[in-house]
Amino acid sequence: MPSGGAEPEEHGLPQKAVEIARPFGFPISNSMVVSWIVAVGLIIFARVATRDMKRVPGGAQNLLEWLVEGLYGFLENIIGPHLVKRTFWFFATVFIFILAANWVGLIPGVGTIGWGQQTADGFVVDQPLFRGANADLNLTLAMALVFFACWIIWALREVGPGGFLKELFAPKGESTGFLKVLMIVVFFAAGCLEIVSILFRPVSLSFRLYGNTFAGENMLETMSRMGPVLGWLLPIPFYFMELLVGLVQALVFMLLCAVFTLLVCRHEGNGKEGVT
């Protein structure tokens, strides 16, 4: 192409996932392929680990039990034994999936195998066959919206519609006279702001995970283009850093969801909840 307007886009990960197929009119992007691979891999791992359960676990069963028990105890210390029984299935699933997707996205070939063209800087892949699943805003936003729906259901089950509204708008503490009227107005205004904050939580959750994953993959791709010698040597330390970042981002997403749930489901007089 003689036009140089799109040239800078060739040197970085495109912000949008690339559509690689459209069977029966259904678009399939390269990030969807990776998310399906991760999901199928986790299902197979869970089936293998639980196929022949033993009292003394070993191998895959030992790893799965260690992971589940560790996450359960960790969340129980944060949101309490009552809430963790209701919500653990979601928090554990989203943590394990995000962690696996982040680490699979670091496997060599993800983002570098696909269709491209020869340029002055060498062969450039502009339509990769695979893309990190969490580097696609569609996936991170979908997970955040699923949590938002679960959050509403959990809140209504724990405190009811009246308790939910009371948690948002009711004045806290004891007051009388003019001060009580003033506190009602203040807490009503604060409740309106809280509703805006609640509506923005899926956006902040999705963009935080997407932004960190997208930035990490862009950094690794930039490092790999720095000359024939440094292209394979320079990214190695950053791969180890991205392994840690992938773990931290999965942990942050799960913890924010857990804390948001605790804040709305904990109410006065409920001794079952609380941070221990």
42 and 250 in contact (C-beta within 8 Å)? no
pTM beyond 0.95, yes or no: no
d(CA 155, CA 265): 5
Q: Can you tell me whether residue 41 is helix, strand or coil?
A: helix
The confidence score (pLDDT) of residue 112 equals 65
Residue type, position 186, single letter: V
With bands split at pLDDT 50, 70 and 90, how would you rate the model's confidence at 2? very low
Helices (H), the chain: 30-51, 60-104, 137-169, 177-224, 230-233, 235-265
CA distance 57 to 22: 44
Place of tokens 């804390």: 259
* pLDDT, tens digit (0-9, with 9 covering 90-100), for 148-190: 999 999 988 888 887 778 777 776 666 666 676 777 777 778 7
87 or 132: which carries more pLDDT confidence? Answer: 87
Distance separating alpha carbons of residues 125 and 128, to the nearest angstrom: 6
Amino acid at 247: L
Q: Determine what percent of the chain is predicted with pLDDT higher than 70.
A: 77
Burial of 31 (C-beta count, 10 Å sphere; 0-12/13-18/19+): buried
Q: What is the pLDDT of residues 214-236, one digit of tens each?
A: 888 877 777 766 656 565 667 77
* pLDDT at residue 228 in the model: 60
pLDDT digits (tens, 9 = 90+) for 95-154: 999 999 999 888 876 766 766 666 666 666 667 777 888 888 889 999 999 999 999 999
Residue 164 is predicted with a pLDDT of: 78
Confirm if 64 and 49 have CB atoms less than 8 A apart.
yes
| CA gap 188, 172 in Å, rounded | 11
